[in-house]
Amino acid sequence: MKRSNAIAAIDIGSTKVAALVADVNENGQARVLGAGVAPAAGLSRGVIDNIQSARNAVGTAVEKAEQSCGMRILSGVVGIAGGHLNSQNNRGIVAITDRMEPISLEDRERAVEVAGQINIPTNRQVLHVIPRAYWIEGTDPVSDPVGMYGARLDAETHIVTGAVSAVQNLTKCVEDSGVQVDEIVLGSLAAATGALTAEERAQGAATVDIGGSTTSICVYDEGAVAHTATLTLGGTHLTQDLARLLRCPWESAERLKCEHGSALPTAEASSVEVEVRAFGTQARKRVSAAHVAEILQARTEEILEMVAIELKRAGYLDRIAAGLVLTGGTSQLRGIDELAEQRLDLPARVGGPRGCTGLTDLIATPAYATAVGLAKHALRGTAAAQRPAGARKDAQENGFFRRIAAFGRAFIPQ
């Protein structure tokens, strides 16, 4: 790229591929310089099933982003999603060799390294090891133990793993389109980075990113990532329900959902009829807007119920005081936040990208929270890399797990 501090982020979803180019403005905020969007192809439930089609879609989005900002995209951060992703929390303990000396950066990194060691099958790989909290000799958790005193340091990390084949296919797809992959980032983490406020992270909140064929969950508890999960239901299932029950083409059902759909039937909707193109000899037919809402409500409730089950299973349903932040294209369905509050008895809001300038009307919507979150994460990494030379040298000497810890701090509010 022409600007040394500019980065690129690529969000490959089930319905669209979004490529953003961003840098940091004079106030330290992320600033979008250009964006490109293309219809997705070659993906099923968040995983590539036709690499040629997926590569073409990525290439189109990247080309549009390059044209909009006047820069050449050589590398970028890429988001990953899909049902193959798993996560768990793990705890590690290390002894401090000299308790008369304060805990050092190296001691903290050793604790993170131990906490990040888990046994996984050979067909899976670790994507993220994110530090959650630290304990000094079993006392209350601390956000950063460096400089404190103690003989034992405990660390807890959130570990995300994915299928090796899915990661390799995603990487090849992007690199075949002419873009080097700098880093692969879990999409739900990026969505949380793009949509959550610092207060919501501190009080506990769950980002529910309802995409085309998957719904991704990222839970923050006490300011740190606590749980991530992926459900294999999304917005295309709502469209599919409309197409089947109304016996209309897919394109008509999708347009009906976007233009007239609602997650909650209203009294006014019962007296409103909308026109939809149908199969057979009847080219057009009229259906009640209330009936459309009833169809969409049933599937939306199923998605929300699955979210509640996952949160309860993980033990966070009663811990997220700030409730749910709904992102993704399907979160723009009218009334979905009200339905979520009714069914889950939790606060809920629809969240678009935050803390970023240069957003157009298109990418300011919840559908682009993940893409903006990827850009913000990449820019934080760029800022860390641009520290004084001594700091960079020290970081290089400490190796891989220092970079892991730096990654984790990108998802913990400062």
Which CATH number does the domain housing residue 270 bear?
3.90.640
Classified as helix, coil or strand, 45 is coil
Model pLDDT, residue 116: 95
Model pLDDT, residue 4: 55
In a domain, 147, yes or no: yes
In a domain, 98, yes or no: yes
Which CATH number does the domain housing residue 146 bear?
3.30.1490.110
In a domain, 91, yes or no: yes
In a domain, 139, yes or no: yes
Q: If you ran DSSP here, which 8-state letter would residue 205 be given?
A: E
With a cut of 50, say whether residue 402 has pLDDT above it. Answer: no
With a cut of 50, say whether residue 387 has pLDDT above it. Answer: no
Mean pLDDT of 215-221: 96
Helices 389-398, 105-115: crossing angle, 10 deg rounding: 40
For the residues of 46-111, what is the DSSP string, one character each? TEES-HHHHHHHHHHHHHHHHHHHT----EEEEEE-STT-EEEEEEEEEE-S-TTSPPPHHHHHHH
With a cut of 70, say whether residue 412 has pLDDT above it. Answer: no
> What percentage of the chain reaches a pLDDT higher than 90?
73
Task: State pTM to two decimals.
Answer: 0.88
With a cut of 60, say whether residue 235 has pLDDT above it. Answer: yes
Confidence of residue 392 (pLDDT cuts 50, 70, 90): very low
Model pLDDT, residue 269: 72
With a cut of 70, say whether residue 410 has pLDDT above it. Answer: no
Model pLDDT, residue 72: 93
- pLDDT, tens digit, 9 for 90 and up, residues 313-358: 999 999 999 999 999 999 999 999 999 999 999 999 999 999 888 8
Model pLDDT, residue 266: 82
With a cut of 50, say whether residue 29 has pLDDT above it. Answer: yes
Mean pLDDT of 353-368: 89
Q: Determine the structural domain holding residue 255 and report its residue range.
A: 243-294
Q: Which tokens in the block code for residue 303?
A: 């998605």
Confidence of residue 305 (pLDDT cuts 50, 70, 90): very high
In a domain, 129, yes or no: yes
Of 123, 143, 164, the last residue of a domain is: 164
Sign of CA dihedral 76, 80, 85, 87: positive
Lowest mean pLDDT among 60-64, 159-163, 265-269, 278-282: 278-282
In a domain, 133, yes or no: yes
- pLDDT, tens digit, 9 for 90 and up, residues 111-150: 999 999 999 999 999 999 999 999 999 888 998 999 999 9
With a cut of 60, say whether residue 393 has pLDDT above it. Answer: no
Nearest Cα to 344, choosing from 192, 205, 236, 202? 205
Model pLDDT, residue 414: 39
Mean pLDDT of 154-182: 95
In a domain, 90, yes or no: yes
Model pLDDT, residue 280: 74
Of 132, 164, 196, the last residue of a domain is: 164
User: In 3-state terms, the chain is what percent helix, strand and coil (to 5)?
Assistant: 40, 30, 30
> What percentage of the chain reaches a pLDDT higher than 70?
90
- pLDDT, tens digit, 9 for 90 and up, residues 65-96: 999 999 999 999 999 999 899 999 999 999 99
In a domain, 151, yes or no: yes
Of 114, 142, 164, the last residue of a domain is: 164
Nearest Cα to 328, choosing from 183, 199, 226, 190? 190
- pLDDT, tens digit, 9 for 90 and up, residues 30-52: 999 999 999 999 887 778 889 99
Q: How many domains does the chain fold into?
A: 2
Model pLDDT, residue 108: 95
With a cut of 80, say whether residue 382 has pLDDT above it. Answer: no
